[in-house]
Amino acid sequence: MPTVHVLNGPNLNLLGQRQPEIYGTTTLADIEADCIATGRDLGLEVRFFQSNHEGALVELIHTARQEAAGIVINPAAFTHTSVAILDALSAFDGPVIEVHLSNVHKRESFRHRSFVSLRADGVIAGCGPQGYDLALRRLALLLDAGG
């Protein structure tokens, strides 16, 4: 069964409490449980991580090089700033899907630029927590096509 890593960036640990008018009331623990259940349906083993630190996310991507066939990543604010995360993802061989809960294109202009999109094979924004489910379904398809 292929393993996929779902990586989450800064402040996503506060989902459910943080700006619910933008991010909703679903917690990150709820999203993790849904991802694991979706993975089970799709024949994927899902491992789920969150960090508020850029370097820790870079190291999680390095770990994924050894352990994961594909990555789903919501880099949160680092989406718009981090060449280091882009470079780490560029050193990962499998498919990468970028997810944002909110529609970043409907928000401030600084959120319209994504460094991560330069590497991502697909981008899902504005679908709320369902975006993770859609991303896993896309990864399963890409991994199946590749295998």
Q: Which residues bind ligand DQA (CB under 6 A)?
A: 11, 74, 76-77, 79, 100-102, 104, 111
- Active site (annotated) includes residue 132: no
Angle at the Cα of 126 (from 124 to 131), degrees rounded to 5?
50
User: Which residue's CB is nearer to ligand DQA, number 45 or number 138?
Assistant: 138
Q: What are the backbone dihedrals phi and psi of residue 141, each rounded to the nearest 5 degrees, phi first?
A: -65, -50
One of 5, 62, 100, 132 is an active-site residue; which one?
A: 100
- Active site (annotated) includes residue 23: yes
Q: What are the backbone dihedrals phi and psi of residue 2, each rounded to the nearest 5 degrees, phi first?
A: -65, 145
Minimal distance, residue 141 CB to ligand DQA, in Å: 22
If DSSP states are collapsed to H, E and C, what string results for 4-37? Answer: EEEEECCCHHHCCCCCHHHHCCCCHHHHHHHHHH
User: Which residue's CB is nearer to ligand DQA, number 69 or number 96?
Assistant: 96
Minimal distance, residue 100 CB to ligand DQA, in Å: 4
Which residues have a catalytic role annotated? 23, 100
